[in-house]
Every structure is written in structure tokens, then in C-alpha cells.
């Protein structure tokens, strides 16, 4: 299954709506008449200015708490507003040329889900929607308020098809499938073709942490999965001074690109922000350069473009620091925040000028623990070279090593030089993007 053609130009700006608008956590949850989803729509000009082509929303459907305990997949969470607010967001996104990705939780539901309540009341048909039996229903990873659906029940598959198509009919462009790794592949293989028959241009990305990504895509029919392997290699190689780990991950990443294009990221609503994860603040720029010069469907988590900090903790409320409320745009930011935003704009623009980067394969030109020069290459001879230096001494970059007569620095520390060069140097904790001269 080939991905929709529009995806090759996709750069997502990801928002966790309940936190973004201050609806969760909240000592006084907002009422539907506050229409807080429109606060997200007010940020669409920002997403457009950033260079994003779409907005990837976290859960927007009725739930009791954090959004992943869905109560009703056909209803907008009343803390966010109503259907009119969703339609307004989609219309305003369309006016700006932005697509909309939804977050669907189809592995489990919350304890207020109608059929779960009916099952507890003795409804045998409703009980068949869940794994286990009344009083002993299975849960998601031990969370008692997340009840696992029974995916071999045809009624569950029918329900998921109708939910997906309902919101695609209303203007969404695709789905992030939460906890997709916990759902049998056979379920997705039954559901997604039915949805695609009605919405052939929809895009589906499965949340997958570990495993054989290529095999998972082949068996499920996903267009993509979340590239956690590369995410981890980016920050840990920078922190540990071990670019061999990064090179290994990029080699694996290139193999994935033979069969599908992963969703790539250096931050999302489930992990510590990259500015807090990296030991050296200067390395945030290097992580972003990696994201934007390798194959994939890049996603920027709201706030990372300003250098926001936040640490995820394994405790109740441990996600709150990485899911803060945003005020009305524009946010007041310091000079460092403005520079980080400008860097995001530049690198997203670079990617748009080189759309072949969507499926670019990378390969090492020069590699040691703390200095790395790699080539990103397209299928028609296009190429860029990326140099990363986290050593204490300058990095020597020679055109001969890259297999070209001369190089031109197009971005990074000291760019651009006065003329094409056969050799240049990169200062410690810096980065360069170079192109063959001529």
C-alpha cells in the first residue's frame, strides 16, 4: 500500500489539546460553552508561519480524564466544546492549507464507555466487546480505568470503521492509532481496507515502540509507525558521545524506508522534551538538524520550537510538565526562544526546498564517537552532507572524503563561506549542512 501522495510534503505540528487549552489537569474542568477547542484554532497561523503542513491533534473525543480513556468516539470532549468547534478548526485549517490528523484510541476504552457500563449491568452482547468476563475484564498495561477491547469481535471492527469514517467525512486527513502495538495485526488488516475504500487519501500511523517495524507495517496495513528507535538514538548518542549508535540507527532507518516512511520526531506528548533530555543545550540544534535532514514524516511537538523544557515522570500526573497550557498567540519568548523558532523555520524551509528528503537514505562519510559526517541522498542523484561535532576540538571536513570536487556550506556555524571550498572546519558543538559545489 503506497502512502497518499500528499504525505511526501507533510510536516506536522503536534498539539495535546486537553493540556494545551488548560482542560486537563484542571481543578475546575471547562464547560462545553467555553469552546476551548477554538483556542487551538487560534494557533493555526503560528503553525503556518512555522512551516508546518498540518496539525496533529491528541485526543479530542469525550473522556473522563486525559483523553485516552474514551467515553464516546462520536462526541467531541465537552471540556473542549462540540462538533461546531471541531468543524471550525477544520475549516480554518483548510483556509491555511493545513491538514488535520486525529488521535484514535481503539485498543481500550474508559470505564464510562456505554457498552462497558452495559456489560457491568449484565448485558451479554455488550460483554462480548471486551476481553475477559464481567468482573475480570482485561485492562491496558494494568491500568484499571482502561478496559481492553476484544478485537476478534466483528462488532468492534464495525464500530472502529464507522468512527474513523465519521471523522474523515467531517474533514480529518488521517489517524494516529494509539497503542497500536497492543492490538492484533489482524484487526487492523480487517479494518483499514474498509476505511481506505471510502477514504483512499487518508494516512494511518500506528504508535509502535519496539519490534520489527517493517513487518508490523506489512501485516497491519499502516502507512507508517512512530520511529522511537531513531528518537532514542538521537538524544542518547548526543549525550553519550557515541555517534556509532546513531549511525547504526540511521542504517536501520534506511532499511525501513525501503518499504515505508516512518513518522519521525524528537519530542511528543509522551516523552521528556528534547531541551530537557539533552545534557548540553547547544545540542538541541543538532537534534533538530538530524530530524530535518533524514527520511521520514517529521513532527514538531508544540513548544519545542521555542525550546520549552519539561520532564516526564513515571508517577500519577507525571505527564503534566510536558503537556502545559498555552495562552493566546503569540507567546512571550526570550531571545533563545526566538532563535530556536527561527531555526525551525529555516530547517523546515530547507526540507520543503528539497522534498526528496522525505525518503532520503543516509550513510556515513566520516565517523567516530563525537564527530559525524553523513550523506543524505535522494533517488535521482540529489545529495546533501551533514556534519555534527560534539568533540572539544574542531572537525575537519574535506570534499575528497565526500567524493566531490568541492563543497558549499549552506547552513550552520559560520555559513555561508565566501566561496566554494575543498576543505572547511566545524567548531565544537556545531553543525553544518553542505551541498556539492557547482
pLDDT for the residue numbered 135: 86
Q: 402: how many CB neighbours lie within 10 A of its CB? A: 20
pLDDT for the residue numbered 149: 98
Over residues 277-288, the mean pLDDT reads 98
CA 148/CA 131 separation, integer angstroms: 6
Domain with CATH 3.20.20.80 in the chain: 5-359
CA-nearest of 387, 373, 389 to 429 is 389
What percent of the chain lies above the pLDDT cut of 70?
99
pLDDT for the residue numbered 251: 97
Q: How confident is the model at residue 418 (pLDDT cuts 50, 70, 90)?
A: low
CATH of 361-436, one of 3.40.50.11260, 2.60.40.10, 2.40.100.10, 2.60.40.1180: 2.60.40.1180
pLDDT for the residue numbered 1: 59
What is the value of pTM for the model shown? 0.97
Q: What is the pLDDT of residues 104-120, one digit of tens each?
A: 999 999 999 999 999 99
What percent of the chain lies above the pLDDT cut of 90?
96
Asked if residue 138 lies in contact with residue 132, where contact means CB atoms within 8 angstroms, the answer is yes
pLDDT higher than threshold 80 for residue 419: no
Domain with CATH 2.60.40.1180 in the chain: 361-436
Residues 6 or more apart whose Cβ sits within 8 Å of residue 144: none
Domain covering 5-359, topology: TIM Barrel (3.20.20)
Q: What is the pLDDT of residues 58-89, one digit of tens each?
A: 999 999 999 999 999 999 999 999 999 999 99
Amino acid at each position: 500500500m503506497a502512502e497518499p501522495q500528499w504525505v511526501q510534503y507533510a510536516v506536522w505540528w503536534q498539539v495535546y489539546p486537553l493540556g494545551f487549552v488548560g482542560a486537563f489537569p484542571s481543578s475546575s474542568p471547562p464547560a462545553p460553552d467555553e469552546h476551548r477547542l477554538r483556542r487551538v484554532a487560534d494557533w493555526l497561523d503560528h503553525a503556518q508561519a512555522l512551516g508546518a503542513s498540518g496539525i496533529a491533534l491528541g485526543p479530542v473525543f469525550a473522556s473522563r480524564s486525559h483523553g485516552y480513556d474514551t467515553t464516546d468516539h462520536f462526541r467531541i470532549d465537552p471540556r473542549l466544546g462540540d462538533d461546531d468547534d471541531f468543524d471550525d478548526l477544520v475549516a480554518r485549517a483548510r483556509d491555511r492549507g493545513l491538514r488535520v490528523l486525529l488521535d484514535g484510541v481503539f485498543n481500550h476504552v474508559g470505564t464510562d464507555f456505554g457498552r462497558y457500563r452495559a456489560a457491568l449491568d449484565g448485558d451479554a452482547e455488550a460483554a462480548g466487546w471486551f476481553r475477559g468476563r464481567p468482573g475480570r475484564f482485561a485492562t491496558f498495561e494494568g491500568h484499571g480505568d482502561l478496559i481492553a477491547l476484544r478485537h476478534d469481535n466483528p462488532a468492534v471492527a464495525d464500530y472502529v470503521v464507522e468512527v474513523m469514517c465519521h471523522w474523515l467525512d467531517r474533514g480529518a486527513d488521517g489517524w494516529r492509532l494509539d497503542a497500536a502495538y497492543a492490538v492484533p495485526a489482524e484487526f487492523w488488516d480487517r479494518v483499514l481496507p474498509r476505511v481506505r475504500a471510502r477514504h483512499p487519501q487518508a494516512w494511518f500511523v500506528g504508535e509502535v515502540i519496539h519490534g520489527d517495524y517493517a513487518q508490523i507495517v506489512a501485516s497491519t496495513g499502516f502507512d507508517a509507525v512512530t520511529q522511537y528507535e531513531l528518537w532514542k538514538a538521537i538524544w542518547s548518542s548526543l549525550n553519550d558521545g557515541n555517534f556509532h549508535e546513531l549511525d547504526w540507527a540511521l542504517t536501520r532507518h534506511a532499511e525501513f524506508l525501503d518499504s515505508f516512511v516512518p513518522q519521525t520526531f524528537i519530542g511528543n506528548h509522551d516523552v521528556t522534551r528534547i531541551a530537557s533530555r539533552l545534557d548540553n543545550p547547544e545540542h538541541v540544534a543538532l537534534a533538530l538538524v538530524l530530524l530535518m535532514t533524514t527520511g521520514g514524516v517529521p513532527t514538531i511537538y508544540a513548544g519545542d520550537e521555542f525550546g520549552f523544557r519539561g520532564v516526564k515522570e513515571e508517577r500519577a500526573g507525571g505527564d503534566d510538565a510536558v503537556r502545559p497550557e498555552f495562552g493566546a498567540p503569540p507567546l512571550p519568548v526570550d531571545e533563545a526562544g526566538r532563535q530556536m523558532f527561527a531555526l525551525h523555520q529555516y530547517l523546515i524551509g530547507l526540507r520543503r526546498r528539497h522534498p526528496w528528503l522525505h525518503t532520503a537514505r543516509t550513510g556515513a562519510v566520516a565517523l567516530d564517537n563525537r564527530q559525524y559526517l553523513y550523506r543524505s541522498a535522494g533517488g535521482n542523484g540529489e545529495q546533501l552532507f551533514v556534519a555534527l561535532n560534539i568533540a572539544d576540538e574542531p572537525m575537519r571536513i574535506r570534499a575528497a572524503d565526500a567524493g566531490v570536487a568541492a563543497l558549499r556550506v549552506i547552513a550552520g556555524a559560520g555559513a555561508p563561506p565566501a566561496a566554494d571550498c575543498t576543505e572547511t572546519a566545524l567548531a565544537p558543538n556545531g553543525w553544518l549542512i553542505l551541498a556539492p559545489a557547482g
